[in-house]
Structure 1
Amino acid sequence: MRPVDDYFYNQKEPYQSIMLYVRSVILNTLPEVEERFSYKLPFYNCHKKPMIYLNVLKGTNYVDVAFVQGILLEKQFPILKNDNNRKQVRSVQLKTLEDLDHDNFVALLHEASNVLGKSKKAWFI
Structure 2
Amino acid sequence: MKPAEAYILNQDEPYRSILLQLQMIIESVVPDCELYFKWRIPFYYSRDLPLCYLNQSKDYVDLAFWHGEQLEKFQDNYVKTNRKSVMSLRYKSLDDIDDEIVVYVIEQQLRINTNPFKMILGSKKKLK
Q: TM-score, normalised by structure 1?
A: 0.85
Measured against aligned partners, the alpha-carbon deviations of 1:9-58 in whole angstroms (never above 9, x if no partner) come to 1101100000011001101111132111111110001231112111122x
Structure 2 match to 1:48? 48
**Partners of 1:90 and 1:14 in 2: how far apart?**
22
CA-to-aligned-CA distance 1:61-96 (integer Å, 9 cap, x gap): 1101101333332x433111114x111100000001
Candidates 74, 77, 90, aligned match of 1:77: 74
- Once residues 69 and 44 of structure 1 are traced to their aligned partners in structure 2, the CA distance between those partners, rounded to angstroms, is 15
Between the aligned partners of 1:82 and 1:71, the Cα distance in structure 2 is 10
- TM-score, normalising length: structure 2: 0.84
Structure 1's unaligned 5+ residue stretches are none
Q: Residue 44 of structure 2: SS of its match in structure 1?
A: strand
Task: Look at both structures and tell me which one has the larger radius of gyration over its CA atoms.
Answer: 2
Q: Percent identity?
A: 35
Deviating more after overlay: 103-112 vs 11-20? 103-112
User: Which SS does the other structure have where 1:31 is aligned?
Assistant: coil
Q: Supply the AA of the counterpart residue of 2:30.
A: L
Say how many residue pairs are matched: 118
Q: Any unmatched runs of 5+ in structure 2? A: 121-128
- Work out the CA distance in 2 between the residues paired with 1:71 and 1:35: 25
**Residue number among 73, 85, 89 corresponding to 1:92 in the alignment:** 89
Aligned counterparts of 2:31 and 2:44: Cα–Cα separation in 1: 11
Q: Separation in 2 of the partners of 1:89 and 1:17?
A: 23
Counterpart residue identity of residue 93, structure 1: R
